[in-house]
């Protein structure tokens, strides 16, 4: 099991548990109950969910072009993108951020979003895109 090999990761899961539990209670489980999301699998330390095709959420999230969102150590993907390596790498970097920042993850993300003028300039997104680019470059070699 991955947590036995990496005891610090276990501490990260405990530290980020409040964020994940809040996301489950306030968003993921209700959206599952409404038929908008469904749990997919536990993969590489992340509980993956997928948006139900042709649902209301699919129309509002997937059709405009969103790929995935990280909520603690849960990630929900637009249908089919859970197998896209660049999306998975990007979102797993956000999971790593959540494991380090714990309950500070969401508030810090919002503050940086406002201070830096949006999504692409948010340092947490810049870090995730840099990480994605670096790992995808090493995969191509």
Return the domain boundaries, the chain.
2-140
Alpha-carbon distance of 22 to 52, in angstroms, equals 22
pLDDT at 4: 63
100 alpha carbon, distance to own chain's centre:
14
The pLDDT value recorded for residue 2 is: 53
Q: Please report the beta strands in the chain, taking only residues with DSSP state E, as ranges in sequence order.
A: 37-43, 46-51, 68-71, 74-77
Residue 64 is predicted with a pLDDT of: 86
Name beta bridge partners: 86. none
Radius of gyration of the chain (CA): 15
The string of pLDDT tens digits covering residues 2-38 is 556 678 888 999 999 999 999 999 999 999 999 999 9
pLDDT 10s digits, 42-97: 998 999 999 999 999 999 988 888 999 999 999 999 999 989 999 999 999 999 99
């Amino acid at each position: 099991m991955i947590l036995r090999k990496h005891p610090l990761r276990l501490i990260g899961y405990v530290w980020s548990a409040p964020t994940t539990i809040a996301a489950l209670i306030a968003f993921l489980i209700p959206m599952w109950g409404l038929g908008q999301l469904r749990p997919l699998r536990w993969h590489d330390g992340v509980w993956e969910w997928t948006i139900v095709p042709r649902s209301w959420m699919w129309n509002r999230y997937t059709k405009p072009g969103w790929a995935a969102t990280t909520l603690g150590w849960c990630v929900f993907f637009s249908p089919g993108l859970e197998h896209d390596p660049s999306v998975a790498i990007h979102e797993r970097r956000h999971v790593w951020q959540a494991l380090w920042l714990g309950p500070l993850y969401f508030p810090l993300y919002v503050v940086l979003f406002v201070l830096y003028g949006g999504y692409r300039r948010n340092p947490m997104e810049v870090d995730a895109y840099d990480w994605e680019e670096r790992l995808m470059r090493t995969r191509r070699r």
